[in-house]
C-alpha cells in the first residue's frame, strides 16, 4: 500500500508534534548544541487591519505549528530537550472576548487534542521558563523576531537565536506519514476543484468565474484556505508565470492554465493543469502540450531517493529541446542548444520545489545568484531525500518579454526560426504540475488530477 494512502484513517490520530520536537532537538545537538537546552516558540498573533478594528487574515506561524500542531493564535510553546517534555501555553479566558466569540479552548481540551505533555495558560510562561532554566543553567533556543517583549529568558545561561529556525527548516524537508496524509487530502480536494473548473470552462466568459468555481469546490469541502493565490490564465496570459489578475475574458481563447491548490491544516497542495476551454486543442497547442506532458512523465519516472534534482531539471530541458526541434521552432544541434541555454527562453523557471507547510517549502538551498541562467530559479538544489515531497512542473511558454531579446541577439537568434515561432504565440503557455513523494526506490504521485489528453478533453466535454 502507498504511504498514507488511507489518509483519513491516518488523520484520526494526532499531529506528531513531539516527534517533530525531538527531531529538531537532535539536529541542534548534532550541530554541537546544548543537550540540556530549551526550545521556545510563539504562535502568530491576532492582528487588526490598519486604521480599523477588523481582524487581519490569520496565518499560523509554520515554525510554531511544526512543533505543536496547534492552530490557536497568541500561544507559546516550550520543549525541554533533556526530558523531552512539550508544554503548550494558550490564551486564558477573557470575559469580554467570550461575549463576541464564545468560550475558547481550555487547557484540558488542548491537552486532549494536541500531541503535548502539558497545557497551561500564557500567563504562566515566564514562571515556567524561570523554573526550568534555574535548575539547568542551560541554553534557550528561540527565533529572535518571534519573541514577545514581555517574555524573559533572564535565568538562562546562554541565549541562542540562530540555530532553531535553520533546524526546523531542514527537519521539515522529510515528512512523516501524518504530514503526507495532509498533503494527500489537500491534493484530493484540489483535484475535485480543478476538475470542477474543467467541467465549467466551456460555458465561462471570464477568468474570474473559473477562479470562483475553484474556490467554491474547496470551501464546500471545508478547505477554506488557499495555499497561494490562484493563477487562472487564458490564452497569452499563461505566458506570465505568476499571472494573478484573473479577470480577462476567455470566450475566444483556446487554452486556460489553472495553477491552484488549497491547504489542509497548514499543509499545501500545488497543482497546475492546462486545457482547451472548449475541449479541443489546436494543432499548435496540442503539440506543445504533448512536449510538456512528456517532460513531466520522464522527470517523474526519474525520481527516487538520492537522485540529484539538478540533473532531473537538465533532463526536462533536453526533452523540451528535442520537442521544439521536432516542431521547427528551434534549429541546430540539440547539444549545442543545451549548452547555449537556448531552451531557457521557453522554459525559464525551475522544474519544481519542495512542498509542505509552505508552497515553496523550506530546505531547498536555492542559489538565486547563480550565473548559470538554467539553474538560477531552481528552488531545490542537490539530492532528494526519502520522504521529501517535490513539485514536478515543467512548462513551455511563449512570452515575448523573454523571447524577443533572444531574437535580437546576433548569437542566439540563429537557433530560433521566427517564422515557425509566429504560429505559437497564441498558445501562451503550458504547464503541468504534480506533487510527488520521493521514496527509497522510486516515488508516489500524490496528485490524481486528470492530465492525459483524452481524459482531459472528455472531462471538459462532459460539462458542456
Beta strands in 34-101 (DSSP E): 38-42, 76-80, 85-90
Task: Supply the mean pLDDT for the chain.
Answer: 96
pTM (predicted TM-score): 0.96
pLDDT classification of 43: cutoffs 50, 70, 90: very high
Residue with cell 501562451: 428
**Roughly what angle, to the nearest 10 degrees, separates helices 283-301 and 309-327?**
150
Fold of 177-462: Creatine Amidinohydrolase (3.90.230)
Alpha-carbon distance 78 to 85, whole Å? 8
* Pairing, β 395-397 against β 389-392: unpaired
Alpha-carbon distance 392 to 412, whole Å? 28
Q: What is the pLDDT of residue 428?
A: 98
Average of pLDDT values for 137-158? 93
Q: Quick one: 85 exposed, middle or buried, by C-beta within 10 A (0-12, 13-18, 19+)?
A: middle
Which part of the chain has CATH 3.90.230.10?
177-462
Evaluate if residue 75 carries a pLDDT over 90: yes
pLDDT classification of 96: cutoffs 50, 70, 90: confident
Domain 17-171 has CATH 3.40.350.10: yes
Alpha-carbon distance 200 to 363, whole Å? 38
Give every CB contact of residue 162 below 8 A, 6+ residues apart in sequence.
none
pLDDT classification of 136: cutoffs 50, 70, 90: low
Q: What is the pLDDT of residue 135?
A: 55
Which part of the chain has CATH 3.40.350.10?
17-171
Amino acid at each position: 500500500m502507498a504511504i498514507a494512502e488511507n489518509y483519513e484513517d491516518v488523520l484520526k490520530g494526532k499531529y506528531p508534534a513531539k516527534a517533530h520536537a525531538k527531531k529538531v532537538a537532535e539536529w541542534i545537538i548534532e550541530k554541537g548544541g546544548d543537550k540540556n537546552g530549551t526550545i521556545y516558540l510563539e504562535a502568530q498573533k491576532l492582528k487588526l487591519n490598519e486604521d480599523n478594528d477588523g481582524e487581519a487574515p490569520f496565518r499560523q506561524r509554520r515554525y510554531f505549528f511544526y512543533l505543536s500542531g496547534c492552530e490557536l493564535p497568541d500561544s507559546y510553546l516550550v520543549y525541554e530537550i533533556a526530558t523531552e517534555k512539550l508544554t503548550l501555553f494558550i490564551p486564558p479566558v477573557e470575559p469580554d472576548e467570550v461575549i463576541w466569540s464564545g468560550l475558547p479552548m481550555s487547557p484540558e481540551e488542548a491537552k486532549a487534542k494536541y500531541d503535548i505533555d502539558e497545557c497551561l495558560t500564557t500567563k504562566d510562561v515566564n514562571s515556567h521558563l524561570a523554573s526550568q532554566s534555574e535548575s539547568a543553567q542551560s541554553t534557550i533556543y528561540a527565533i529572535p523576531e518571534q519573541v514577545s517583549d514581555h517574555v524573559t529568558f533572564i535565568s538562562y545561561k546562554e541565549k541562542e537565536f540562530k540555530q532553531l529556525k535553520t533546524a526546523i527548516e531542514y527537519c521539515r524537508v522529510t515528512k512523516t506519514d501524518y504530514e503526507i496524509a495532509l498533503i494527500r487530502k489537500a491534493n484530493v480536494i484540489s483535484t475535485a476543484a480543478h476538475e470542477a473548473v474543467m467541467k465549467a470552462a466551456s460555458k465561462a466568459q471570464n477568468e474570474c468565474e473559473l477562479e470562483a468555481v475553484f474556490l467554491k469546490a474547496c470551501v464546500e469541502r471545508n478547505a477554506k484556505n488557499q495555499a497561494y493565490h490562484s493563477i487562472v490564465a487564458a490564452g497569452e496570459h499563461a505566458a506570465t508565470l505568476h499571472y494573478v489578475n484573473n479577470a480577462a475574458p476567455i470566450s475566444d481563447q483556446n487554452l486556460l492554465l489553472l495553477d491552484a491548490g488549497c491547504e489542509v491544516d497548514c499543509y499545501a497542495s500545488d497543482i497546475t493543469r492546462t486545457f482547451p476551454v472548449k475541449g479541443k486543442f489546436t494543432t499548435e497547442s496540442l503539440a506543445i502540450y504533448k512536449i510538456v506532458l512528456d517532460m513531466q512523465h520522464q522527470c517523474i519516472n526519474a525520481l527516487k531517493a538520492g537522485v540529484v534534482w539538478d540533473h532531473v531539471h537538465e533532463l526536462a530541458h533536453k526533452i523540451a529541446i528535442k520537442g521544439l526541434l521536432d516542431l521547427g521552432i528551434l534549429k541546430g544541434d540539440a547539444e549545442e542548444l543545451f549548452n547555449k541555454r537556448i531552451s531557457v527562453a521557453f522554459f525559464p523557471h525551475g522544474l519544481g520545489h519542495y512542498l509542505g507547510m509552505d508552497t515553496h517549502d523550506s530546505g531547498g538551498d536555492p542559489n538565486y545568484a547563480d550565473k548559470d541562467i538554467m539553474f538560477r530559479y531552481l528552488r531545490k538544489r542537490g539530492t532528494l531525500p526519502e520522504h521529501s515531497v517535490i513539485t514536478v512542473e515543467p512548462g513551455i511558454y511563449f512570452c515575448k518579454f523573454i523571447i524577443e531579446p533572444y531574437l535580437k541577439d546576433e548569437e542566439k537568434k540563429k537557433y530560433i526560426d521566427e517564422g515557425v515561432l509566429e504560429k505559437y504565440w497564441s498558445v501562451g503557455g503550458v504547464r503541468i504540475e504534480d506533487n510527488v513523494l520521493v521514496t527509497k526506490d522510486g516515488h508516489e504521485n500524490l496528485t490524481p488530477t486528470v492530465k492525459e489528453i483524452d481524459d482531459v478533453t472528455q472531462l471538459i466535454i462532459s460539462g458542456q
